[in-house]
Every structure is written in structure tokens, then in C-alpha cells.
Amino acid sequence: MDCVKLVLFFMLYPFLCQLAFPSSLPHLCPKHQALALLQFRQMFTINSNASDDFCYNPKTLSWNRRTDCCSWNGVYCDKMTGQVIDLDLFCSGLQGKFHTNSSLFQLSSLKQLSLSYNDFSGSLISTKFGELSSLTHLELWNSGFTGLIPAEISHISRLQFLTISAVDPYGLRLGPYNFQLLLKNMTQLRYLDLEYLNISSTIPERDLTNLTNLEYLRLSYNSLTGPIPSNVSGLQNLQFLLLSSNHLNGTIPSWIFSLPSLIYLELTNNSFSGKIQEFKSKTLAVISVNQNQLQGPIPESLLDKPDLQFLTLSQNNFSGQIPSAVCNLKTLIMLDLGSNNLNGTIPQCLGEMSDLEVLGLNNNILSGTINTTFSTENQLRIINLYGNKLKGKVPPSLINCRNLEFLDLGNNELNDTFPSWLGGLPGLKILSLRSNKLHGPISDSRTDNLFPKIRVIDLSSNGFSGNLPVSLFENFQAIKKIGENSGTREYIAGDYSGNYANILIVTTKGLDQELPRVLTTYMIIDLSRNRFEGHIPSIIGDLVALRMLNLSHNGLEGIIPASLHQLSVLESLDLSSNKIGGEIPQQLASLTFLAVLNLSHNHLVGCIPKGKQFDTFEKSSYQGNDGLRGLPLSKDCGGDDGVPQPTTPVELDDDEEEEGDLISWQAVLMGFGCGLVIGLSIIYIMLSTHYPVWFSRMVVKFEHKIDSIMKRY
């Protein structure tokens, strides 16, 4: 026996050595496949700008002739044959034309191919993809392909995973016939993701039945029409169904609610109508049917799903009260019931849901007080109760929402003073209390660090009075600096930025507008339509990141602070319908981003600044200021061509703006005559009374009177 073992050992020794020392193995990658890969790489450049995107991994940079292609980044080979079976170039920054006879198609043994998130610059999808008959995975998601998806794609009958979409919406077309071929032939599909394709077809019932292995189906943004087939028995393994943003109509068929494995249902932005049938699937985690025409009460069967995390029914015609049983959904993260016809009171228990992060009840007919008690354990980041008939006070328990970023209680009937204690919420970025019955002064609290991260504060259309809240402006730390990443598109509560509950109503150009996704760079202060009085504090000039400032329809007086020229990214300034006097500071002409300006119905005088953005504003920006002159008004501002001549500003009191009017020679003579008579009189009084202090005060007063007389001319 020992001899037999010895013989076997020597027979197996070479093989054992190869296992122990794999570096001694010869190159496994066939030369013609390595050459095909290198030729493929040479057809493209690497787009370094892609590094700014969410993914960037230029895998082909590691490819070279000196190493085995099976060791190249993104290349995977069969361990026995060395054939390239998997090519993963996801997010590789490839840019250029993808030729229809590309050397890539020489890799006949490919089983998995990912070209997603590259830029093939409007190339057509080659018919030769259909010749890669061994493919089980094909990913062409967001890669810049355009045109008609060839019918030959449907020849890859072994496909289990297929994802194709366009960079530009509807840049790719999958005709109705090709769509039916694809569903008919690819019976092995488990994952099918076709988004932003122009199919313009109904969903074929017979071909859906063939997809017995399908677990994931996304056909969003495909111009699909008509009803969903009413009797489909083949999709028993389906876990994800996404059909949003088509033109689908009719009722939602009952078979969808009975799918035994369904986890994710998204039917957003279609034309479904009628009532929702009873949900029998217990596995549902996401239900999103917003933006349809569904009606009736909120189905009780929705509220017994132990794993439900996202429930969005907004922008429908649901009616009745919000059942308190909704609080039984212990795992719920998002509850969005906005823009329906729901009435009654807000269930008190909503504030006790420990996992809830988004609460959207906006634009309903909810009434009563906000008697919700928000527990200290809550995780709420967004609360939107805008547009109801809620009364009473702002609930003090909101201070327990330590993660809150977005709070909108606007357009209700709340009757309270300003809840300055909300400034203690460390992460609050958006606060809207507009269009309520809030009243009284905003106390000049000296508490530090109030509203440190606030970016949008809207207190418009209330009854606030007194002076503008200087102490609050001092605390707005986030608005005092222009972010280093101001060029990137980051959103408030970014995880939920595309959700309806995150919509914010703002007023610009006198009109209410929706901001469906609020960027972190949006810096807005709106205190319009209140009873504020006094001066505009110059400290507003320190809020250099402001994009919109609206102080219109108040009782403000004094002058426009020249410090506003420091608001270098300001896009909208509305100071209309106040009692503001003096001149428009010439320095405001430096605001190159200013697109909206409204200074109408004040007491402004002097010349309108010229240049840059001020050359674009119309008469409506200045109407109701009888003392203003210059373009675009009809009153000439002087000078040979109607352009005001430059003057040297004179520094006056802190509460007055710099002067710059041209004085005609008649005014000079009149002023000189008046000044001579008044001056001689003053000298006589001074010599006879011997009161120099009284004299100096009187001189200042007379100087102001002389100045006022000269301005009239």
C-alpha cells in the first residue's frame, strides 16, 4: 500500500505544485480575447469629468499587454478554460462611439456584460448583442445609447437579468412589436428593468404570463397606455413591480394585491381610478400609488402590513378620516397622504411612531388643533401640514423632534405668537409658518445659536408687528456663508428629496410657486405681508448666501441699506409696498445674479442705478415712487444721453443713505440765498445768546432743511 501511495504522490505532484504555486501557471486568457479587449478600449477616451458623478472607476486604465487579461480590472475568466465570461465596466468613464461591429462581440463566451453608466455618445445598440447567446446578464443602463432597440436583443433567450434605459428621457425606443418579442422569448428573465423607453403600447397579457421566473419588473416612463391586464397568473414570484409615469388607466387589478411575494409596488403618476381592492399580500414594504385618481376611504387592509415601511397615497381623491390604526404600522418610515380630501383631526398617536421620518398630511381638510404629542424617541425629519384648517397653537412637543429638518405649518388657522423655541432644533433647515393668524412682535431674544442651520424661513401673511428681528438674523449662521459645495446639487432631507411631502410653496414675482425639491443652496427669507415697522437692519447684508429676500407689504421706513450689495448671490429682492425713502443705493448695481426686483409703492427718490441687472428691470419694479427718475421710467435723470452723471457720495448720519443727486444751477443760487439769510440770522442769535451747544444742534437742523429744499429742485 505504501508503494501505491508513493506512486500516486509522484503522479499528482505536478498538479499539487500548480495548486501551491499559482503564479507559475501560464496565462489563461486567450490571446485573441485579450487583443479584442485592448482594441475595444482604444475606441474610447476616459471622461475625467465623470469623476464628479456619484460613481467613477476607470477600470480599463489597468489593462496592458504585459499581464494576463484575467487579472485586469473588471475582467473575469472561467477558471478552467480561461475564456472571458464576465466583463464589468460599470461606471468606467468610457466616452465615445460604440461601433456596431465592435471587437467586444468576439467574446463569444460572455455570460455577464455591464456597460452601465458610461457615455457612448448617442450610439445605436448593435444587432450583434443578439449573437452573444450565452449571456445571462446584460446591463445597458444610462449609457448614452439612442435610437431603436433592435429586435435581435430578444434572441438572447438565456437572459436572466436585463436593464436598458436612456440618459435623455425617451432617447431610446422599443417599438410595441419588439417589446412583445422580448417578453415572449426571454422566459428565463428574473430581473427586467426598462426605464425611459418610448414603447407606446399596452401591456400584453399573454406575454406577461410567460414570465414565471420574474422577480423584478420596472417599466416606468415608457408611454404605456390602457389598463393593466386583469388576469395574469404567471407572475407568482414577482417581488418588485414599478409602472410609474405612464398613461395607464382603469382600476388597479385585484391580482396585484394578491401576489404572494410582492414587496415593492409603485404605480405613481398614472390615471388609475376607482377604489383600491383589498391587499392580501402580507410581505409589502413599499406602497406608492400617488398622483392618480383613486378615491374612497383609506383601505383598512393597508394598515395590517407588519413590514410596511413606505406608504404614499398623496395627490388622489381619498376621503374620510385618517384611521388611528395607521399607528399600528410599527415599521413605517414614510406616511404621505397629502393632497387628498381627508378630514377630521390628526391622530394623536402619529407622534409616537418611533421609526417615522416623513409625515406628509398637507393640502387636505384636516381641522381641530394639532394635539399630536411628539415623543422624545421620534425620528421625524419632515413634517408637512401645509394647507389645512388647523387651529390653536404650534404644539410645544415639536421641540422633541431633534432630527427635524423640514417643518411646514403654513396656510392654516394657527393663532399664536412666534414660536422662537423652534430655534432650538439643531438641524432645522426649513421653517414655513406663512398664511396663519400668528401675531405680535418677534422678541429680540439674545439667546445664542437659535436656528443655526436655517436656510428657508417664511413668516409671510401673518400679523407679526414691531421691528424686524435683528437677533434672529444674527443667529442665521448657515445663511452667513456661501457653501464650498454650492455648485453641487444637494437637497434638504436628501433621502426623500423627490417626495411630495418635501414640496415647499414660496412666493416670487407676486406668485406662489412650488419647489418640489429644495436644494441646500436655497436661502430664502420671506417676512412679507405683516405689520413690521422701523428700519431695514443693515445686518441683513451679512447674510451673504441669501437667494431671495421678501419684506414687501409691511410698514418699513428709513432707507435701503447699502450693505445689501454684499448679497452677491441674491436672485430676488422685493421691498414693495412699504414707506421706504431715500435713494436706491448705487452699490446694488453690483448684484449680477439679481433677476427679480420690486421696489414699487414706496417713497424712493433720485436716480435709478444703471448697468448690469438694473438695465433689465421694467417699470413695474419702480412704479409708485414719484421721486424716482431714470430709465425705464419716463422721467429723465439728467446728463447728455439721459444717463446720470457720477457724483461723490457724502457720508451722513447712520440712518441716512449717501447722496448723489445733481443740483441745477437754479437750486444752487436758491440754496445760497437761503443759506446766506439763515446764516446771518444764526450768527446774530448765537452772539446774543452765547449757547454754542444749542447753536450746533440748530445748524444741523437747518442744514437738513436746506438739503430738503434743494432736493425738490
Tens-place pLDDT, residues 604-624: 999 999 888 898 999 999 999
Long-range contacts of 518-521 (CB under 8 A, 24+ apart): 518/406, 518/430, 518/456, 518/491, 518/492, 519/489, 519/490, 519/491, 519/492, 520/429, 520/455, 520/483, 520/490, 520/491, 520/492, 521/483, 521/486, 521/490, 521/545, 521/547
pLDDT of residue 643: 43
pLDDT of residue 508: 73
Which residue matches cell numbers 404614499?
Answer: 312
- pTM of the entire predicted model: 0.81
Share of the chain above pLDDT 90, in %: 64
168: helix, strand or coil: coil
Mean pLDDT of 201-226: 91
Mean pLDDT of 196-210: 87
Mean pLDDT, the chain, rounded, equals 83
The answer, yes or no, to whether residue 2 has pLDDT greater than 50, is no
Q: Is 233 within 8 Å of 259 (Cβ atoms)?
A: no
Q: Residue 415, class by beta-carbon neighbours within 10 Å (0-12 exposed, 13-18 middle, 19+ buried)?
A: middle
Q: Residue 257, class by beta-carbon neighbours within 10 Å (0-12 exposed, 13-18 middle, 19+ buried)?
A: buried
- Rounded to an integer, what distance in angstroms lies between the CA atom of residue 235 and that of residue 659? 78
Residues 8, 13, 14, 19, Cα dihedral to 10°: 120
The residue among 115, 116, 181, 119 whose CA lies nearest residue 148 is: 181
**How many helices and strands in the chain, by DSSP H and E?**
8, 44
pLDDT of residue 420: 93
SS3 track for 619-652: HHHCCCCCEEECCCCCCCCCCCCCCCCCCCCCCC
- Supply φ then ψ for residue 196, to 5 degrees: 60, 40
- Rounded to an integer, what distance in angstroms lies between the CA atom of residue 405 and that of residue 383? 9
Helical (H) or strand (E) element with 390:
strand 389-392
Question: Per residue in 430-463, pLDDT tens?
Answer: 999 999 999 999 986 666 788 999 999 999 999 9
Q: Is 116 within 8 Å of 144 (Cβ atoms)?
A: no
Pick the more confident residue, 362 or 277: 362
The residue among 579, 464, 432 whose CA lies nearest residue 532 is: 464
Mean pLDDT of 561-569: 95
| Residues whose CB falls within 8 Å of the CB of residue 322, separated by 6 or more in sequence, listed in order | 298, 337, 342, 344, 346, 347, 361, 366
Peptide bond between residue 632 and the one before it cis (omega within 30 degrees of 0): yes
* Chain Cα centroid distance, residue 69: 43
pLDDT of residue 618: 92
pLDDT band, residue 7 (cuts 50/70/90): very low
- Rounded to an integer, what distance in angstroms lies between the CA atom of residue 288 and that of residue 314? 9
**DSSP H stretches of helix in 259-362:** none
Question: How would you classify residue 274: left for phi > 0, otherwise alpha for psi between -120 and 50, otherwise beta?
Answer: left
Helical (H) or strand (E) element with 16:
helix 2-20
Long-range contacts of 137-141 (CB under 8 A, 24+ apart): 137/111, 137/112, 137/113, 137/161, 137/162, 138/113, 138/162, 138/163, 138/164, 139/90, 139/113, 139/114, 139/115, 139/163, 140/115, 140/116, 140/164, 140/165, 141/116, 141/117, 141/165, 141/193
- Supply φ then ψ for residue 400, to 5 degrees: -80, -10
170: helix, strand or coil: coil
pLDDT band, residue 642 (cuts 50/70/90): very low
pLDDT of residue 5: 43
**Region of poorest pLDDT, from 49-58, 424-433, 524-533:** 49-58
Share of the chain above pLDDT 70, in %: 81
The answer, yes or no, to whether residue 134 has pLDDT greater than 50, is yes
**DSSP H stretches of helix in 573-691:** 665-689
Mean pLDDT of 153-175: 88
- String of b and e for 420-429 (b: at least 16 CB within 10 Å)? bebbebeebb
- Supply φ then ψ for residue 112, to 5 degrees: -135, 130
pLDDT band, residue 522 (cuts 50/70/90): confident
- Rounded to an integer, what distance in angstroms lies between the CA atom of residue 401 and that of residue 458? 20
The answer, yes or no, to whether residue 123 has pLDDT greater than 80, is yes
Q: Residue 333, class by beta-carbon neighbours within 10 Å (0-12 exposed, 13-18 middle, 19+ buried)?
A: buried
Please state the length of the chain. 713
pLDDT band, residue 309 (cuts 50/70/90): very high
The residue among 139, 179, 137, 184 whose CA lies nearest residue 161 is: 137
Long-range contacts of 82-86 (CB under 8 A, 24+ apart): 82/27, 82/28, 82/29, 82/30, 83/30, 83/33, 83/109, 84/29, 84/33, 84/37, 84/109, 84/110, 85/109, 85/110, 85/111, 85/112, 85/134, 86/110, 86/111, 86/112, 86/113
- Rounded to an integer, what distance in angstroms lies between the CA atom of residue 311 and that of residue 688? 88
pLDDT band, residue 700 (cuts 50/70/90): very low
The answer, yes or no, to whether residue 515 has pLDDT greater than 80, is no
What type of residue is 522?
Answer: Y
Pairing relation of β-strands 581-583 and 603-607? Answer: parallel
Question: DSSP labels for 212-228?
Answer: TT--EEE--SS--EEPP
| Residues whose CB falls within 8 Å of the CB of residue 40, separated by 6 or more in sequence, listed in order | 102, 103, 104
Query: Strand 463-467's sheet: what is its strand order?
Result: 439-441, 463-467, 531-535, 555-557
Question: DSSP labels for 515-544?
Answer: ESS-BTT--EEE--SSEEEEEPPGGGGG-T
The answer, yes or no, to whether residue 275 has pLDDT greater than 60, is yes
pLDDT band, residue 491 (cuts 50/70/90): low
pLDDT of residue 82: 92
Mean pLDDT of 21-40: 76
The answer, yes or no, to whether residue 169 has pLDDT greater than 90, is no
pLDDT of residue 74: 94
- Rounded to an integer, what distance in angstroms lies between the CA atom of residue 527 and that of residue 462? 9
The answer, yes or no, to whether residue 690 has pLDDT greater than 60, is no
Q: Is 228 within 8 Å of 243 (Cβ atoms)?
A: yes
The residue among 87, 140, 88, 146 whose CA lies nearest residue 117 is: 140
Question: Per residue in 646-688, pLDDT tens?
Answer: 433 333 333 433 333 333 334 333 443 444 334 434 333 333 4
Q: Is 211 within 8 Å of 236 (Cβ atoms)?
A: no
* Most distant CA atoms of the chain, gap in Å: 142
The answer, yes or no, to whether residue 350 has pLDDT greater than 50, is yes
Mean pLDDT of 396-417: 96
Mean pLDDT of 85-91: 95
Which residue matches cell numbers 390653536?
Answer: 392
Cα distances from 626 to residues 55, 79, 527, in angstroms, run 58, 87, 25
Query: Strand 603-607's sheet: what is its strand order?
Result: 581-583, 603-607, 627-629
pLDDT band, residue 493 (cuts 50/70/90): low
